[in-house]
Amino acid sequence: MDGGMMMSDIMFEHLTKTYPNGFISVDDVTLKIQDGEFVVFHGPSGCGKSTILRMIGGLEDITSGKIYLGDELLNDILPRDRKLAMAFQNYLLYKYLNVYENMALGLRLRDFPRNVIDSRVNTAAQFLGISDILHEKIKNISDAEKQRVALGRAIVCHPKVLLVDEDFAHQNDDRRHEMLSDILRINRELGVTVLYVTNDPEEALSLDSRIIFMRDGKIEEDRKA
Ligand SMILES: Nc1ncnc2c1ncn2[C@@H]1O[C@H](COP(=O)(O)OP(=O)(O)OP(=O)(O)O)[C@@H](O)[C@H]1O
């Protein structure tokens, strides 16, 4: 182990994304994020911030450069085996399954034993205040509840990192506010590193966190909290 490297720090080394049409969306970004940080990626539409998130999550190929999570090189790790969770625009909840089943899905796919699944789902539901709707079908719950279920599904896997795209809560200010306070609690109380993408400058500043300002695929400013 080299001196200052924590187990779950994130490191981008010369990270670059070039699309087939030649457009460079992320341009040689080098950056370190410490285990447990809450980091906001902010910049105008098209600056490449979502592309960075998608590359970490494995939804987009890395053209060149490296992403490490601790000492693991994510480039070589299948998305489902990365120790991270994503909360994007599309909640991807199964309408005809109930809340419990939706939250348990990722653990089932990874062959966790029943009692572990049960305990993790119950703990996460309690944390998010949705214990009373575990047996409701998704199609019968409110949008605010769906947002919590999506976060619940993310945290039951005990990720090191949570990736959140602003679109996750674009509907209205109240919902966005609730979502942000849930995510801040996940960061502070569970110690999960959070990477949050937003193009709303007020929101970016209000979070009182480290902000990475991006423009044209590059980091324009890295402002510490
Ligand atoms: N498949 C593709 N081929 C070419 N260019 C693409 C492709 N996908 C995305 N882009 C371009 O890459 C740039 C960065 O996209 P990205 O989604 O990361 O932007 P962003 O900063 O998150 O902005 P937004 O707030 O609009 O999502 C955009 O200009 C987009 O048009």
Model ipTM value:
0.90
For residue 53 the two structure tokens come to 């998130």
Tokens 């370190």 belong to: 32
Report pTM: 0.91
User: 67 C-alpha vs ligand 1 centroid, how far in Å?
Assistant: 19
User: 25 C-alpha vs ligand 1 centroid, how far in Å?
Assistant: 6
Beta bridge partners, 24, equal 18
Q: What is the mean pLDDT of the chain?
A: 91
Residue whose CB lies within 8 A of the most ligand 1 atoms, among 23, 61, 88, for a mutation test: 23
Residue-wise pLDDT tens digits, 86-145 = 887 666 799 999 999 999 999 999 999 999 999 999 999 999 999 999 999 999 999 889
User: 45 C-alpha vs ligand 1 centroid, how far in Å?
Assistant: 8
What are the distances in angstroms from CA 65 to CA 27, 39, 54, 173?
Answer: 10, 21, 15, 37
Residue-wise pLDDT tens digits, 44-87 = 989 999 999 999 999 999 999 999 999 999 998 998 889 999 88
pLDDT at 225 over 90: no
User: 51 C-alpha vs ligand 1 centroid, how far in Å?
Assistant: 7
Say yes or no: CB of residue 23 within 6 Å of ligand 1. Answer: yes
